[in-house]
């Protein structure tokens, strides 16, 4: 696997090193030891699958509060998504910044979103499926989110929104505390 650091501290795009022949290819999609070498959380507590019927569907931007905060390792297994991470970690040099990247079934790229970051995605094709691992169990009382169009972050989504849950649409405006730096707008 090839680990490519993003503009957010601790977040990575991971590319497959494919061994190809006339049958197709073989690649390692996860390795505990490689995660440890890159100082990434190697715990896997859950495997989740998300399926969306329509292009333009947004899922997110979610995170969980400590002690249930979770790292996510995301791959698109059918179709295509625009995957977004927002850094919400107090004291992080990239606090308030976001990073987005296209993940497709064809490119096989994956994203590692560290603990303390909000994560979500928008589907770019109909009938899109994602597969992702989390380092912590889902705890409903710890779930929080930021709105996909919150002006505090200014995420630029590639297509018009066609579907979103009421919960994801109705998160309140994010408020930086007095101890956090002013909002900065950055994108990939």
Is residue 62 part of the annotated active site? The answer reads yes
Long-range contacts of residues 66-69, Cβ cutoff 8 Å, at least 24 apart = 66/115, 68/136, 68/137, 68/139, 68/142, 69/115, 69/116, 69/136, 69/142
| Structural contact between residues 99 and 8, judged by C-beta atoms closer than 8 angstroms | yes
Q: Could you check whether the bond before residue 52 is cis, i.e. omega within 30 degrees of 0?
A: no
* H or E element that contains 63: strand 58-64
Q: Which of 12, 62, 119, 121 is catalytic?
A: 62
DSSP 92: -
Give the SS3 label for residue 178.
coil
Residue 151 has a CB neighbour count (10 Å cut-off) of: 11
Q: Is 166 helix (H, G, I), strand (E, B) or coil?
A: helix
Secondary structure letter of residue 153 according to DSSP: T
Q: Annotated catalytic residue: which of 63, 99, 132, 174?
A: 132
* 53 in active site: no
| Closest of 63, 50, 87, 77 to residue 136, by C-alpha | 63
Catalytic residue ranges = 62, 132
């Amino acid at each position: 696997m090839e680990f490519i650091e993003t503009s957010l501290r601790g977040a990575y795009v991971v590319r497959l090193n494919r061994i190809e022949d006339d049958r197709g290819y073989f690649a390692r999609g996860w390795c505990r030891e490689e995660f440890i070498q890159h100082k990434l959380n190697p715990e896997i507590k859950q495997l989740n699958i998300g399926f969306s019927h329509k292009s333009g569907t947004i899922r997110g931007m979610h995170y969980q509060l400590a002690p249930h905060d979770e790292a996510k390792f995301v791959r698109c297994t059918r179709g295509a998504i625009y995957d977004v991470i927002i850094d919400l970690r107090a004291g992080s040099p990239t606090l308030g910044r976001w990073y987005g990247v296209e993940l497709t079934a064809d490119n096989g790229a994956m994203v590692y979103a560290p603990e303390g970051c909000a994560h979500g995605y928008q589907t770019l094709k109909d009938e899109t499926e994602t597969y992702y691992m989390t380092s912590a169990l889902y705890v409903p009382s710890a779930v929080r989110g930021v709105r996909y169009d919150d002006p505090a972050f200014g995420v630029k989504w590639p297509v018009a929104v066609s579907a979103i849950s009421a919960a994801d649409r109705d998160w309140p405006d994010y408020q930086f505390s007095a101890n956090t730096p002013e909002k900065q707008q950055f994108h990939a």
